[in-house]
Amino acid sequence: MLYTSTRNNKIRVTAAQAIAQGISEEGGLFVPVELPHFSMDTVREMMEMSYIDRAKTVLRTFLTDFSDEELNYCVEGAYRADKFSSPAVAPTVNIGGKENILELWHGPTCAFKDMALQLLPYLMTVSAKKTAEGKTIVILVATSGDTGKAALEGFKDVDKTKILVFYPVDGVSPMQKLQMTTQEGENVAVCAIHGNFDDAQSAVKSIFTNDEIKAELAKKNMMFSSANSINWGRLVPQIVYYFSAYADLCKMGQLQVGEPMNVVVPTGNFGNILAGYYAKHMGLPIQTMVCASNTNNVLTDFLKTGTYDRNRDFYATTSPSMDILISSNLERLLYHMSGESDAAMRGWMTQLAENGKYTVEPEVMAKIQNEFAAGYCDEAAVADTIHKTYTDQNYLCDTHTAVAAQIAAQCRKLIPVQVVKILDEETSIQREFAMIKVMAVDRTTRDEIIQMANIFRANIIDVSRETLTVAIFGDKSKTGALINLLSDFGILEMAKTGTLAIERGRSSIYDDSKLREEYNYGKNVL
């Protein structure tokens, strides 16, 4: 198995090189050139395996330059019984009906990051011996809370490594701060910064690509690497627990082998859910992957609009591992979805660095939306979900899991799509409805707005001392033109349906006789 860079697809490195290096020299992230494929027979065999054996089965296909002896050393050392409170390592727990939770908190720091960060030091040690020629590896880590402690614990006193963790001084919980600042180990250090996780992560990436600093390290026989999920060695262990969860569900009788499952993943840096994407494209029957965001919903907005925009308020929430506005691992997904275009990646990442935003092409977005759905919830909804899950199902979930549980509940309320038909403008009637609230503090302004509404055959539906609210129903160009003109007065709020469409004449979305028979009139159609 060889790996390339998202920003230079001519690069080819081994797994050991990718893990030891952490990030490509030009700033790109390493991705596999091709994915292995697992049959349902292999998945069926996993049902009777331990987590350690499941991990070996998956990882062996990615770490092809590791010997069986080296792989055994890594996996058995990482997931041995004294490190995890559950013999299953990552058990799947049914909390009622078809709803199951994958528990990733049984490691030494009680963070899901342990699943990867207990393994990464072993992978790093073996990789360094293969590629780093006896150099000491200096690991730089940015954290929003969980990664810091998990990385420090995983790498403490590991030979030929030093680890430095950067954390936002006001962006982690008191417990997380204590965990990091009291960490034992001769090779560990932490540094608090003024700013948020994105500031820390951006600084770490800039250090990685600084030639001057790298030259200084080389003089001392040292090299940089990372324990964040930008390192492939951190991401690949996460693929394992998707296969493990599916095997557990089949063993529990929740699924039949080959039956698809839906997955809702709380994510900020897009690493966890990306591991699920890789598992799906390795043959695991995942139907829908849902990206669950907290109040920092930059990913949800992107997955719905195609525009990634970090220029927004940053919120410190009760789910700090998701308090991120620059989702590094999204770069890996975009690379795959763009047809492995390193030029496109360089363009988007340059726009993000310079302008804080980028927009992907419609054809790329269509591919992404075919793979992912998305939703988000605020802090009140998180707290309510924790309470409701405990009250109704006698299960106490953490804040990050609560985000996923809330979005899963939202998804269950969605009306299923029963029929889809593309309607063109010539053979259909297309309209949209909009309500626009505009500032109108004086009589002259009010008169102008009323006159403008009359011209567009719009209605004034609400009047206050300082505002007018205009309602308009018409084609997209008409509503757009009115909105554009009203913006000069100062739009305070707007609600818009988007395009509504129906075919002209006797034509119907149910014209197909089979559809008529199966769905009948009156069914919901989206």
DSSP class per residue in 417-476:
P-------SSSEEEEEEEEEEEE--SHHHHHHHHHHHHHTT-EEEEE-SSEEEEEEEE-H
CA nearest to 202, candidates 265, 113, 154, 269: 269
Expressed in angstroms, the distance from the first to the final Cα of the chain is 43
Q: Check if the beta carbon of residue 330 is closer than 8 Å to that of residue 352.
A: no
- Give the pLDDT score at 90: 97
Can you give the pLDDT at residue 488? 87
Q: How far apart are CA 61 and CA 17, in angstroms?
A: 16
Identity of the highest mean pLDDT range in 276-280, 318-322, 363-367: 276-280
pLDDT in tens, 198-255: 898 888 888 888 889 989 998 999 988 888 889 999 999 999 999 999 999 999 999 9
pLDDT for residue 523: 36
Structure tokens belonging to residue 377? 């919830």
522: left (phi over 0), alpha (psi -120 to 50) or beta: left
| Residues 6+ positions from 280 with CB-CB distance below 8 Å | 286, 289, 371
Task: Report whether pLDDT(512) > 60.
Answer: no
Q: Is the pLDDT of residue 325 over 70?
A: yes
What does the pLDDT read at residue 417?
60
Q: In the prediction, which pLDDT does 371 show?
A: 94
Q: How confident is the model at residue 522 (pLDDT cuts 50, 70, 90)?
A: very low
Q: Which residues pair with 428 in a beta bridge?
A: 503
Percentage of the residues of the chain whose pLDDT score is greater than 90? 71
Q: How far is CA 206 from CA 26, 125, 214, 418, in A?
A: 10, 24, 11, 49
What is the pLDDT at residue 415?
Answer: 60
Residue 484 binned pLDDT confidence (cut-offs 50, 70, 90): confident
Q: Write down all domains in the chain, each with its CATH number in brackets.
A: 255-412 (3.40.50.1100), 417-526 (3.30.70.1150)
Marked catalytic residue, from 56, 113, 177, 280: 113
Confidence label for 420 from pLDDT (cuts 50, 70 and 90): low
Q: List all residues 6 or more positions away from 210 whose beta carbon is below 8 Å from its beta carbon.
A: none
For residue 416, pLDDT over 80 is answered with no
Q: Answer with the residue of higher pLDDT: 476 or 342.
A: 342
Q: Which residues contact 158 (CB under 8 A, 6 or more apart)?
A: 121, 124, 125, 187
When mean pLDDT is compared across 103-107, 243-247, 441-445, the lowest value belongs to 441-445
The secondary element (H helix, E strand) that includes residue 266 is strand 261-266
User: Can you count the helices (H) and strands (E) in the chain?
Assistant: 21, 19
If one counts every other C-beta atom within 10 angstroms of the C-beta of residue 523, the result is: 12
Strands 92-96 and 99-102: antiparallel
- Residue 476 annotated among the catalytic residues of the structure: no
Rounded distance between C-alpha atoms, residue 181 and residue 177, angstroms: 6
DSSP 135: P
Residue 357 corresponds to which tokens in the numbers above?
A: 């935003």
Could you give the CA distance from residue 211 to residue 42 in angstroms, rounded to a whole number? 45
Q: Give the range among 274-278, 334-338, 352-356, 499-503 with minimum mean pLDDT.
A: 499-503
